[in-house]
Amino acid sequence: MMSSVLVFLLLLLLSGVSLCGCIRLGNGGYEDWRMGSATYIKESLGHPLNDGGGACGYGDLDIFRYGRYTAGVSGALFGRGSACGGCYEVRCVNHVLWCLRGSPTVVVTATDFCAPNLGLPDDYGGWCNFPKEHFELSEAAFLRVAKAKADIVPVQFRRVSCDRAGGMRFTITGGASFLQVLITNVAADGEVAAVKVKGSRTGWIPMGRNWGQNWQCDADLRGQPLSFEVASGRGRTVTAYSVAPADWMFAQTFEGKQFVE
């Protein structure tokens, strides 16, 4: 009997499930369920979550492989853009009228900022006011956990690892005196905490966060192959050498290495 229990516990640990009911993240850590709230924007309204805008700067979410399960997050979660690309598992709870039976979950990617409305109370229109932890879900994501007639629903959420196909993507923009890169399709914890770039005639140059996941440095690197060093929000680093060839052009996107669990 004891040996059967030990085997069962070992299988749980290997599968990434802990006894505390948490989900294993890329660095071997866990995050517990937390309480928050969620609303949604109808796709027909042309909200930035659906038309390619958003505070993370991702552009067309389908092109950049984020699909329909996305969310804008309140300032308490957004962290001035550091949350962009992070994945959250969300489920509707404690509302028998609006939550779907069994409280199913959906995994969404943070792709936008839900702005506060300080002229309204937190429980009636000011859902994204600080320090509320709120998700403005895409319609597709919301309907996976709650009924369409719902207005605002209580949810539980937790950070989870992001499952991405292919490598990280680097979209290069800028000008004669500066270089900017948008980094997308990041696996593991999904976040980007620091970036460096290197040309064939330079050392490693630190880049600063311009906005969302757009990173910038004041350097003219035209005519040089470009390498990038990307640090995740949990301290892991990936170096992608010669991602862009010497004849790269602005507005082009290149694929590099990926964080591997």
Residues 151 and 175 in one domain: no
Q: Residues 118-124: what's their mean pLDDT? A: 83
Domain boundary among 121, 144, 160: 160
pLDDT band at 78 (very low <50, low <70, confident <90, very high): very high
Chain centroid offset of residue 158 CA: 13
Residue 23 inside a domain? The answer is no
Residue 18 inside a domain? The answer is no
pLDDT at 44: 61
Instruction: Look at phi and psi of residue 44 and say left if phi exceeds 0, alpha if psi is from -120 to 50, else beta.
Output: alpha
Residue 8 inside a domain? The answer is no
Please give the full DSSP string across 71-127, using - where no structure is assigned: EEE-HHHHGGGTTTT-EEEEEE-S-TTTBPTT--EEEEEEEEE----TTS-TTTT-T
Higher pLDDT, 17 or 85: 85
Residues 125 and 61 in one domain: yes
Question: Domain range spanning residue 225?
Answer: 168-256
**Which of 216, 157, 164, 155 is CA-nearest to residue 189?**
164
pLDDT tops 60 at residue 3 = no
Q: What is the pLDDT of residues 136-178, one digit of tens each?
A: 999 999 999 999 999 899 999 999 999 999 999 999 999 989 9
Residues 61 and 113 in one domain: yes
Instruction: Look at phi and psi of residue 188 and say left if phi exceeds 0, alpha if psi is from -120 to 50, else beta.
Output: left
CATH code for the domain of 68: 2.40.40.10
pLDDT at 11: 39
Strands 87-92 and 237-244: unpaired
pLDDT at 233: 86
The overall average pLDDT reported for the chain is: 85
How many structural domains are present in the chain? Answer: 2
